[in-house]
Amino acid sequence: MSGPSPAVAGVRVAVRRALTSLPAGAHVMVACSGGPDSLALAAATAFVAPRAGLTAGAAVVDHGWHPSSSSVAAAAARACERLGLAPVTVLDVAEAAAGGRGGPEAAARDARYAALEREADAQGAVAVLLGHTLDDQAETVLLGLARGSGARSLAGMPARRGRLVRPLLGLPRATTRAACADLGLEPHDDPANADPAYTRVRVRVVLAELAGALGPGLPAALARTAEQLALDAEALEAYAEELLGRARTPAGYEVAVLAAAPDAVRRRALLAAARAAGSPGGALGSRHVLALDGLVVGHPGRGGVHLPGGLVAVRRCGTLSLAAPGDPSPDHDDQRADEPRE
Residue 336's pLDDT is 31
SS3 326: coil
Q: What average pLDDT is seen over the chain?
A: 87
Lowest mean pLDDT among 3-17, 27-41, 155-169, 192-206: 192-206
Asked whether the beta carbons of 142 and 218 are under 8 A apart, the reply is no
Q: Are 313 and 320 in contact, with CB atoms under 8 Å apart?
A: yes
Position 47 scores a pLDDT of 98
Report, as an integer, the average pLDDT of 106-134: 93
pLDDT at 99: 59
Q: With beta carbons less than 8 A apart as the criterion, state whether 23 and 120 touch.
A: no
3-state SS, residue 159 = coil
Contact status, residue 126 vs residue 49, Cβ threshold 8 Å: no
> Can you give the pLDDT at residue 106?
75
Given a cut of 90, whether residue 339 has pLDDT beyond it is no
pLDDT at residue 338, as a whole number:
31
pLDDT given for residue 280 in this prediction: 84
What's the average model confidence in pLDDT over 15-39?
Answer: 96
Domain residue ranges of the chain, discontinuous segments joined by +: 6-224, 250-323
Closest CA relative to residue 91, chosen from 103, 106, 73, 76: 73
| pLDDT score recorded for residue 190 | 77
Express each pLDDT in 247-278 by its tens digit. 999 999 999 999 999 999 999 999 999 999 99
CB 124 within 8 A of CB 188: no
What is the length of the chain?
342
Dihedral, 102, 104, 107, 112 alpha carbons, nearest 10: -160
Helix (H/G/I), strand (E/B), else coil: 308:
coil
**Residue 23 region, left (φ>0) first, then alpha (ψ -120 to 50), else beta?**
beta
Class of domain 6-224: alpha beta
Q: What is the mean pLDDT of residues 119-145?
A: 94
Separation in Å, CA 162 to CA 57, 126, 165, 198, 232:
18, 9, 8, 28, 20
pLDDT > 70: percent of the chain:
90
**What's the pTM value of the predicted model, to 2 decimals?**
0.78
177 has a pLDDT exceeding 50:
yes
Residue type, position 163, single letter: R
Distances (CA, A) of 197 to 61, 98, 126, 202, 227: 21, 16, 36, 8, 29
| 232 touches 240 (CB < 8 A) | no
On the question of pLDDT at 1 being above 70, the answer is no
Over range 197-206, report the average pLDDT: 83
Could you tell me if 166 and 173 are in contact, meaning their C-beta atoms sit under 8 angstroms apart?
no
The predicted pLDDT at position 101 comes to 60
The DSSP H or E segment spanning 178 is helix 173-183
**CA distance linking residue 217 with residue 58, whole number of Å:** 33
Residue 11's pLDDT is 98
| pLDDT tens profile 64-100 | 767 788 899 999 999 999 999 999 999 988 766 665 5
Kindly list the distances between the CA atom of residue 202 and the CA atoms of 35, 145, 198, 205, in Å, as whole numbers in the listed order: 19, 14, 7, 5
244 has a pLDDT exceeding 80: yes
pLDDT band at 34 (very low <50, low <70, confident <90, very high): very high
Instruction: Report, as an integer, the average pLDDT of 19-39.
Output: 96
